[in-house]
Amino acid sequence: MPPGSSPKDEPVNQEQFERALLEIKAGKEDIRPSDVVIFSEPLRSTLNRAVRIGRISLTEFAKELEVERERAREIVELLIKRNLLRVSSFSNDKETFYETRLSAMTRPLGRPPSDIFKKLDD
Amino acid sequence: MSKIVSVHSFRGGTGKSNTTANLAALLAMGGARVGVVDTDIQSPGIHILFNLDESEMVHSLNDYLWGKCGIKDTAHDVTGHLGTQVKGQVFLIPSSIKAGEIARILREGYDVGLLNDGFRDVVTELGLDYLLIDTHPGLNEETLLSIAISDVLVVIMRPDQQDYQGTAVTVDVARKLDVPKMMMLVNKIPSAFDLDDVRARVEQTYKVKVIAALPHSDEMMTLASSGIFSLKYPDSIVTKGLKAVADEISG
């Protein structure tokens, strides 16, 4: 039994872990703010806090998600692939820190039929 | 510790930019260094309240988003435009008011993540106590980002049925984004309404504290965005309400 877990907690945490994996794997593009809003708990609040502070450690991430470090690392790897997290230069042998960055291009909202606005500026 | 404050309304015409400009001035009157970002890229306007002429705009937020300059280069010190009561400093990051540049943003979009980086960088680079974000009405990725990284959210609404419904959406989303401090301001209340009654009704509806319930102001309309209301009318009931919001932000 890994440290910090108990048989009583295990089924709940397993469910949370699998749900978090599924939700993150559901998309391939960069994670947008609107993605975070629809993530389930505790993934949503964990990411909200990390985004607001701008940085989170693997230990904090595991604690807030209520999963073991190795499981937290699996989730983190997916979040790195979707460009929400990147490994921080503050990381050391004992702890890995991640910086957060909500990203993604906004979709173009509309295309004028001609370049009339540039002509107006000129 | 610096604070990022988003000022948002679901619908346009609520007095969002006017409120943002006044809050910036009131916070700066207390000696704070305040940044104001106009993220209403599609319909910018807050620069008018600070009397920043287009000819004075060296760089805009658009330039930063297109990689033409750093975020600090877009900050214009507008403290001198506010008069002698302001002990601190106010920096405005305007959005471009060139039609072609607005069209380019609409056409091409931009990386929302750059706003994320820019907000954090400008707070550090200018040593700001507060960064106020004047958001675009409604909800889009930019607005969600602003709310997501804010320490404080000020939601503005009018006592109008359309505002009531839309504001519920904003409050719901803000709760999902775990904003640490959310407050409301009800603006432009017609004289036929009882201010305390409106305040109580809004608080009951959204379960969010209403810091100020402000009456419609003819003086505000007459000023017509040609300056900062709270500096010109320091004894007005509107100014007192805005001061209460500024105090709540700084508290």
Tell me the pLDDT tens digit for each residue of A30-73: 888 888 988 999 999 999 999 999 999 999 999 999 999 999 99
| Cα gap A62→B93, rounded to integer Å | 38
Closest alpha carbon within chain A to B173: A37
pLDDT for residue A62: 94
Domain assignment present for A118: no
Alpha-carbon gap: B215 to the closest alpha carbon of chain A (Å): 34
This complex has an ipTM of: 0.83
| Cα gap B65→B24, rounded to integer Å | 23
Query: Residue A33 is nearest to which of B117, B141, B178, comparing CB atoms?
Result: B141
> Does residue B163 contact residue B201 with C-beta atoms inside 8 Å?
no
pLDDT for residue A118: 54
Q: Check if A109 contacts B (Cβ < 8 Å).
A: yes
Higher pLDDT, residue B149 or A11: B149
Alpha-carbon gap: A122 to the closest alpha carbon of chain B (Å): 9
| Cα gap B136→B138, rounded to integer Å | 6
pLDDT for residue B100: 93
Alpha helix (H) residue ranges in chain B: 16-29, 46-49, 61-65, 99-108, 112-125, 141-149, 161-176, 195-206, 218-223, 229-232, 237-250
pLDDT for residue B234: 94
pLDDT for residue B97: 93
Q: How confident is the model at residue A7 (pLDDT cuts 50, 70, 90)?
A: very low
> Does residue A106 contact residue B109 with C-beta atoms inside 8 Å?
yes
> Does residue B187 contact residue B19 with C-beta atoms inside 8 Å?
yes
CA atoms within 13 A on the CB side of B225: 13
pLDDT for residue A86: 93
Interface size between A and B, measured as CB pairs under 8 A: 94
3-state secondary structure of A109: coil
Domain assignment present for A116: no
pLDDT tens for each residue of A60-113: 999 999 999 999 999 999 999 999 999 999 999 999 999 998 876 655 444 444
Quote the tokens at residue B103.
């069209």
pLDDT for residue B48: 93
Computed over every residue of chain A, the mean pLDDT equals 81
pLDDT for residue B121: 94
| Cα gap B157→B79, rounded to integer Å | 28
The secondary structure of B172-210 as a DSSP string is: HHHHHTT-SEEEEEEEEE-TTS-HHHHHHHHHHHH-S-E
The CA-based angle B218-B221-B222, given to 5 degrees, is: 85
Domain assignment present for A113: no
Q: For chain A, how many structural domains are there in total?
A: 1
pLDDT for residue A11: 47
> CATH no. for residue A91?
1.10.10
Distances (CA, A) of A13 to A36, A62, A71: 20, 11, 10
pLDDT for residue A117: 46
Quote the tokens at residue B56.
């004075």
- Just give the CATH number of B3-250: 3.40.50.300
Split chain B (251 residues) into runs of 10 and give each run's mean pLDDT.
95 95 97 96 92 92 94 97 90 95 87 88 97 92 90 96 90 93 97 96 97 94 88 95 98 89
Under an 8 A CB cutoff, do B109 and A105 touch? yes
pLDDT for residue A9 is more than 80: no
| Cα gap B240→B178, rounded to integer Å | 29
Alpha-carbon gap: A77 to the closest alpha carbon of chain B (Å): 19
List beta partners, residue B154: B7, B183
Nearest alpha-carbon partner for A61 in A109, A96, A31: A96
Provide the residue ranges of all domains of chain B, joining segments of one domain with +. Answer: 3-250
> Does residue B181 contact residue B154 with C-beta atoms inside 8 Å?
no
Query: Residue A37 is nearest to which of B103, B120, B177, comparing CB atoms?
Result: B177
Give the B-side interface with A, CB within 8 Å: 42, 98-104, 106-113, 116-117, 120, 140-142, 144-145, 147-151, 173, 176-178, 180
| Helices A69-81 and A58-65: angle between axes, nearest 10 degrees | 110
Q: Which residue segment(s) compose the domain that A89 sits in?
A: 10-104
Query: Residue A37 is nearest to which of B104, B120, B176, comparing CB atoms?
Result: B176
